[in-house]
């Protein structure tokens, strides 16, 4: 195989109680990438559509992730990369992760799959480091593995795929404003109180348990963030109103998607997820901010090969 075309999905990181460790994969929103294997060693970005992003491989998250993988192979091969972006950078739904995870997935396919998923996650984390200053894996892991993922440990890297119930849907509102992850991280406090740690651990355990037992009410009760959300939510217009509206309309729970500005809700069933999307839209119609709504089943596969 010399060429591959892939769909690389958007993702929701943190999922309220799992800052930097939990993520889920969306189904119908994402980018496309085309990769070609060539006989000259090196990485070249040949085409970018949809967004104004650098072609310099050291300044582009896909370039940096691709280089991280290339350093680990001895073969005399190189890759040409085309990036077709649908996910806006600074959206909170894993734009940089889609490019970083997509490029290493596609290279691995073209090379005959020499690398494990864990190795691909660690290469893609280099792209995240370029984008946000921190090599977090909570977007690249669900993009590569699909479903819900948990980073049990960063050092050494230990990533688990978590069960998710059949009828679980995510609804996301993406306000068309840019919030850089690096900025959203810079407002966070370094210290956490013991009281908040206890609450957050209880919710994290509850969420994981609810995902395994398909206990939707438990999932809902566990979707709280005592640590990050109070600090970051002030950066997101109408955050509290959106959250209140979606809970009233039957969402199991809601929170900031990744580092924002997108807001996610989890719902039981598509009908409920659509209703929640309308409730989000009603709040934002009263503002002057454009927005997009995504209603998605949890994507269990992650990145998909188109051809």
Nearer to ligand HSE, 55 or 154 (CB): 154
The token duo for 195 is 């009281």
Q: How far is the CB of 185 from ligand HSE (least distance, A)?
A: 5
Is 20 a binder of ligand HSE (CB under 6 A)?
Answer: yes
Cβ of 265: how many Cβ atoms within 10 Å? 30
Q: How far apart are the first and last CA of the chain?
A: 11
Element containing residue 101 per DSSP (H, E): helix 95-110
Residues 139, 128: Cα–Cα separation, whole Å: 9
Q: Which stretch binds ligand HSE (CB under 6 A): 28-36, 136-144, 216-224, 267-275?
A: 136-144
Q: How far is the CB of 302 from ligand HSE (least distance, A)?
A: 16
Q: Which residues contact 9 (CB under 8 A, 6 or more apart)?
A: 25, 26, 27, 29, 30, 94, 98, 143, 299, 302, 303, 304
Nearer to ligand HSE, 14 or 299 (CB): 14
Task: Find tokens 């090599």 and name the residue.
Answer: 135
Which of 8, 14, 200, 272 forms a contact with ligand HSE (CB under 6 A)?
14
Is 185 a binder of ligand HSE (CB under 6 A)?
Answer: yes
Known catalytic membership, residue 3: no
Known catalytic membership, residue 282: no
Which of 27, 31, 32, 138 forms a contact with ligand HSE (CB under 6 A)?
138
Residues 271, 244: Cα–Cα separation, whole Å: 19
Backbone angles phi, psi at 110, to 5 degrees: -65, -25
Give me the catalytic one of 128, 149, 171, 229.
128
Site for ligand HSE in 76-135 (CB under 6 A): none
Give me the catalytic one of 8, 11, 149, 181.
181
Which of 63, 127, 253, 258 forms a contact with ligand HSE (CB under 6 A)?
258
Residues in the interface with ligand HSE (CB under 6 A) total 12
Q: How far is the CB of 161 from ligand HSE (least distance, A)?
A: 18
β partners of residue 3: 36
Residues 22, 202: Cα–Cα separation, whole Å: 15
Is 139 a binder of ligand HSE (CB under 6 A)?
Answer: yes
Tell me the Cα Rg of the chain. 19
Contact 61, 80 (CB under 8 A): no
Nearest residue relative to ligand HSE (C-beta): 258
Q: How far is the CB of 233 from ligand HSE (least distance, A)?
A: 12
Contact 158, 142 (CB under 8 A): no
**Helix and strand counts by DSSP (H, E) for the chain:** 10, 11
Which of 8, 181, 222, 262 forms a contact with ligand HSE (CB under 6 A)?
181
Residues 113, 107: Cα–Cα separation, whole Å: 8
Q: How far is the CB of 57 from ligand HSE (least distance, A)?
A: 22
Is 136 a binder of ligand HSE (CB under 6 A)?
Answer: yes
β partners of residue 81: 35, 45
Q: Which stretch binds ligand HSE (CB under 6 A): 14-22, 28-36, 42-50, 59-67?
A: 14-22
Q: How far is the CB of 72 from ligand HSE (least distance, A)?
A: 25
Q: Kindly list the catalytic residues.
A: 128, 181
Residues that bind ligand HSE in the complex, under the rule CB under 6 A: 13-14, 19-20, 136, 138-139, 181, 184-185, 258-259
């Amino acid at each position: 195989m010399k060429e591959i075309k892939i769909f690389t999905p958007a993702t929701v990181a943190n999922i309220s109680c799992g800052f930097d460790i939990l993520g889920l994969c969306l189904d119908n929103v994402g980018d496309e990438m085309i990769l070609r294997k060539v006989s000259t060693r090196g990485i070249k970005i040949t085409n970018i559509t949809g967004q104004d992003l650098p072609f310099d491989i050291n300044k582009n998250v896909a370039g940096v992730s691709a280089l991280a993988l290339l350093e680990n192979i001895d073969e005399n091969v190189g890759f040409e990369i085309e990036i077709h972006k649908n996910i806006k950078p600074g959206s909170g739904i894993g734009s940089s992760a889609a490019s970083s995870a997509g490029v290493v997935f596609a290279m691995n396919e073209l090379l005959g799959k020499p690398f494990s998923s864990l190795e691909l996650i660690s290469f893609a984390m280099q792209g995240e480091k370029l984008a946000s200053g921190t090599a977090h894996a909570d977007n690249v892991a669900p993009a590569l593995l699909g479903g819900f993922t948990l980073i049990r440990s960063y050092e050494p890297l230990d990533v688990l795929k978590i069960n998710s119930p059949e009828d679980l849907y995510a609804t996301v509102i993406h306000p068309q404003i840019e919030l850089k992850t690096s900025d959203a991280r810079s407002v966070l406090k370094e210290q956490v109180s013991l009281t908040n740690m206890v609450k957050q651990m209880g919710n994290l355990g509850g969420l994981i348990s609810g995902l395994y037992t398909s206990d939707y009410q438990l999932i809902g009760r566990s979707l709280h963030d005592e640590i990050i959300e109070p600090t970051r939510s002030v950066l997101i217009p109408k955050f509290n109103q959106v959250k209140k509206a979606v809970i009233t309309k039957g969402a199991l729970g809601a929170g900031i998607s990744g580092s924002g500005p997108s807001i996610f809700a989890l719902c039981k069933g598509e009908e409920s997820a659509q209703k929640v999307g309308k409730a989000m839209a009603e709040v934002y119609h009263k503002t002057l901010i454009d927005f997009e709504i995504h209603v998605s089943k949890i994507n269990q596969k992650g990145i998909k090969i188109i051809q």
